[in-house]
Structure 1
């Protein structure tokens, strides 16, 4: 798997949005894991939405419907 950003670049991006906060050493790993969990949950919800519509293929409308629900769960 290729990385789009180095660890230091991710930390600089986060630090730019929160300049006065301290960052943990593994903030990039934590961000990636949260992102992976979000995508996993989004895919699962989109699949459930498609099954409820009696369709076998997940379409963009299923993802958009599931996105609202998943964003509310990850709002924190």
Structure 2
């Protein structure tokens, strides 16, 4: 039988969320937090890629990411 690799440390994510929220969290909250994080990173990289192409860069730079971080955070705030 092949052992599967975990995508992220569930216990660590639960501990971090609990520390910030100051409450117990339900069973699958850590999964939802991780998925939201992945969606945010995907959107951030997509926007940074668009910004880099528009400014004539060949690859995504830290400057491209910094420029789109605030607008992406605003959109993902929900």
- Say whether the fold is shared (TM-score over 0.5): yes
- What are the ranges of 5 or more consecutive residues in structure 2 without an aligned counterpart? none
Distance in 1 (alpha carbons) for counterparts of 2:60 and 2:19: 37
Distance in 1 (alpha carbons) for counterparts of 2:15 and 2:60: 36
Q: Give the alignment partner of residue 10 of structure 1, picking from 10, 13, 17.
A: 13
Matches within 5 A, 1:40-51: 40-51=42-53
TM-score where L is the length of structure 2: 0.76
Q: Give the alignment partner of residue 19 of structure 1, picking from 18, 22, 36.
A: 22
In structure 2, the residue corresponding to 1:62 is in which secondary structure? helix
Runs of 4+ in structure 1 displaced over 6 angstroms? none
- What are the ranges of 5 or more consecutive residues in structure 1 without an aligned counterpart? none
Across the aligned residues of Structure 1 and Structure 2, the Cα RMSD in angstroms comes to: 2.0
